Structure 1
Amino acid sequence: MPNLINNSIGDSDFVGSLIPQRFPFVMVDKLYSFTETTLVSGFKIKENALFFKNGNFVESGIIEHMAQSVALHTGYQFFLRKEKAPTGYIGSIKEIEIKKLPTLNDEIKTTVNILHEFAGITLVDIVSEINDVEIARGQMKTILAK
């Protein structure tokens, strides 16, 4: 499987086609790297972002960005196999720590590490950064719809 993503795959329209969410609920716009067990995604904070309030991208937006980063990993896996990706759901969120809220034009870069994947259930560690400074981390369990 590819590790480095070519620039055209960083295209926000292509990235948006890999997840089930649609504007204005899209919280990922870049795919930097992918392996079977990792993914690095990005999201630039714009004024029209759904969770942009009072100059900050709020906590619920960061958590949704994390969840969509997991969905992007699944969506890209299915794309590489030339299959339609199923819809997934957040099964649980654990130990989320948000240290700093992004502001306008910040770019969140999030690394997803797959810890376990079995029978459509995926457990991941997630770390989000801005300019190589950690702003959030946590664990999430997602479940694919049958």
Structure 2
Amino acid sequence: MNLLKEEIRDSELIEKLIPQKAPIVMVDKLLYYDESKVISGLTISNKNMFVEKGHFTEPGLIEHMAQTVALFTGYHFYINNKKAPEGYIGAIKGVTIYSLPKIEENLETEVVILQEIMGVTLVKGVTRCNGVEICSAEMKTVLKTEV
């Protein structure tokens, strides 16, 4: 069940939900959220640092997926009136990239939480462009703990 009352497209709010700041912000929409899944969006701009020769590059796709995980965590903390901790990519496996999207195309990335324990989250992500799957991966993220 979607716990998001309406899509979030406000860039200022999106930037409050993730630890990354411009120019490294690789999500610009929160489209869906529940306890085990999130869907983010990104319209690729020609000003994006991961654009080369009119295409969004492989590192950009991975960063976009990682920021989708950060958006999941950030929104969870936001709706619970807590400050979200920073996180890190711990591991990536099974990365498959079928094609690279072009400037002005819209990405939608769906991340499903497979397991979450003690600040470590294992996810499966799929990125689509115009409804076609262009990238998939499993990712393990780790939340930074306060000492």
Q: Tell me if TM exceeds 0.5.
A: yes
Classify the secondary structure of the residue corresponding to 1:10.
Answer: coil
Structure 2, unaligned stretches of length 5 or more? Answer: none
Classify the secondary structure of the residue corresponding to 1:64.
Answer: helix
Equivalent residue for 1:53?
52
TM-score (norm 1): 0.96
Equivalent residue for 1:6?
6
Letter in 1 for 2:40: S
Classify the secondary structure of the residue corresponding to 2:69.
Answer: helix
Equivalent-residue separation in structure 1 for 2:29 and 2:73 (angstroms): 15
Equivalent residue for 2:21?
22
Equivalent-residue separation in structure 2 for 1:5 and 1:142 (angstroms): 26
Structure 1, unaligned stretches of length 5 or more? Answer: none
Equivalent residue for 1:70?
69
Classify the secondary structure of the residue corresponding to 2:82.
Answer: coil
Equivalent-residue separation in structure 2 for 1:72 and 1:118 (angstroms): 18
Letter in 2 for 1:92: A
Per-residue CA distance 1:6-38 (angstroms, 9 max, x = gap): 14x222221121000000000000000100100
Does the 8 A contact of 1:5 with 1:31 survive in 2? no
Equivalent-residue separation in structure 1 for 2:31 and 2:12 (angstroms): 14
Runs of 4+ aligned residues of structure 1 deviating over 3 Å after TM superposition are none
Equivalent residue for 2:43?
44
Q: Is 1:126 the counterpart of 2:125 in the alignment?
A: yes
Classify the secondary structure of the residue corresponding to 1:128.
Answer: strand
Equivalent residue for 2:107?
108
Equivalent-residue separation in structure 1 for 2:58 and 2:26 (angstroms): 12
CA RMSD of aligned residues (A): 1.1
TM-score (norm 2): 0.95
Question: What is the number of equivalent residue pairs in this alignment?
Answer: 145
Per-residue CA distance 1:110-135 (angstroms, 9 max, x = gap): 00000000000000000000111000
Classify the secondary structure of the residue corresponding to 2:42.
Answer: strand
Equivalent-residue separation in structure 2 for 1:126 and 1:103 (angstroms): 20
Does the 8 A contact of 1:41 with 1:110 survive in 2? yes
Letter in 2 for 1:82: N
